[in-house]
Structure 1
Amino acid sequence: MIVWINGTHGAGKTTTSALVQQLMPESRLFDAEKVGETLMDITPGLPATDNFQHWPPWRQLIVETARRVLDYTGGVLVMPMTVLVESYWREISAGLARHAIPVRHFVLHADQETLRRRIAGASPIPSPFRLRYLQPYAEAARTWLHSEAEVVDTTHRTPAEAARQIVAAVRIGAGGDPRRS
């Protein structure tokens, strides 16, 4: 199974995902961004883009890598990764479904003011790259993303609280005992 943790920058994906992995001993953390970084290191470079998700090989390699890791290890992959383009999400989820890999898709959500504050607090200079994704996230949330996932509002939740909520939801869905989380 894959526990996909989506959401924009500042929502808490990285921290929450690490905590989810710790609460689920049968799981491993797979940062799909590393696949994008590998593709960015190809020389000469692939066609120019402002986001490696636009490269079809990234989406295909995410599916194939997840499948191969799960075939090798079993268990659960916890995958923190922002995907805001609906067709990309559909391609990835359909690819995983073709391999009979169940996906629990969660979106960490926070209001825009909270996201801006968190992004600004992450480094001395607010990241234009991270800020650039706030509006596309709001649009995706409004049009498709929130209806495709289980939304966890992190505006007033700590990453630990969000992680416990996700683990409880996964265990209930799998017939497990949510009190174990």
Structure 2
Amino acid sequence: MLVWINGAFGAGKTQTAFELHRRIPGSHVADPELIGYGIHRMLPSAARHDFQDRPQWRSAVVATLADADRVVDGPVLVPMTLVEHRYFDEIMGGLGDARVQVRHFALNASPATLRRRLRTRSGYWIGRVAGRSETWAEAQIERCVTALESPRFATHIDTDDLGLDGVVEQIADDLGWHLTVPRLGPIGHQMRRVSVGVRHIHF
């Protein structure tokens, strides 16, 4: 099974995916952003726009996730913001054609919550030092929040008042999964959050 964890920037997709991975032995995290960064690095800076607009990104995501689904014994966890309806339908349809079973979850949060979360990230402060009034992720909040309200993006999980453990356990419960690995304590939780965040800083 492939579990796509969608949501606006700041919704907690990556942290959720890696915490599910920690608590589900045999699972695997597959991040489609890595394909996009690879495409960008092969292009001159003037051509580096939203990689989701490139057909080769969408086709490579389908092919690579289908490969991962075939070789991974446990669930494949995919943290990725995907709110353009045409692209969502194209990728989900392609995975269906490849006979990949997909469950989709959208982590929803209010714009105020998303802005507060984004301001705890290193990218926010790097942007402030560079003189930007808001980061690229902040500029996408309204677009993402509005799009993800659509029934197309069900199942929805409201994360405004739900911590990481609660989100992880709600997804597991919806899927009928038994989490054999227990929650982390407060210190371990913070260390894990920092570790995942640092590993996902891209320049």
* TM-score of the two chains, using structure 1 as the length reference: 0.87
The answer to whether the aligner puts 1:26 opposite 2:31 as a matched pair is no
Give the conservation status (yes or no) of the 8 Å contact 2:2–2:102. Answer: yes
Give distance in 1, aligned partners of 2:89 and 2:148.
Answer: 15
Query: What SS does structure 1 have at the residue aligned with 2:119?
Result: helix
User: Which residue does the alignment assign to 1:39?
Assistant: 39
Aligned partner of 1:120 in structure 2 is: 119
Could you report, residue by residue, the CA deviation over 1:98-147 in whole angstroms, capped at 9, with x for unpaired residues? 011011100011111111111112233485211111111122023x3x44
Deviating 4+ runs (over 4 angstroms): 178-181
Identity %: 31
Q: CA deviation at 1:85?
A: 0.1
- 1:104 corresponds to which residue? 103
Closer/same/farther in 2, CA of residues 43 and 180 from structure 1, 3 Å limit: closer
User: What is the aligned residue count?
Assistant: 173
The aligned counterpart of 1:141 is: 148
Q: Which runs of 5+ in 2 are unaligned?
A: 182-203
Structure 1 residues 83 and 169: alpha-carbon distance in aligned structure 2, compared to 1, 3 A threshold = same
State the partner residue of 1:6. Answer: 6
CA contact (8 A) 2:23 2:179 kept: no
Distance 1:43 1:147 in 2: 33
The secondary structure found in structure 2 opposite 1:9 is: coil
Gapped regions of structure 1 (runs ≥ 5): none
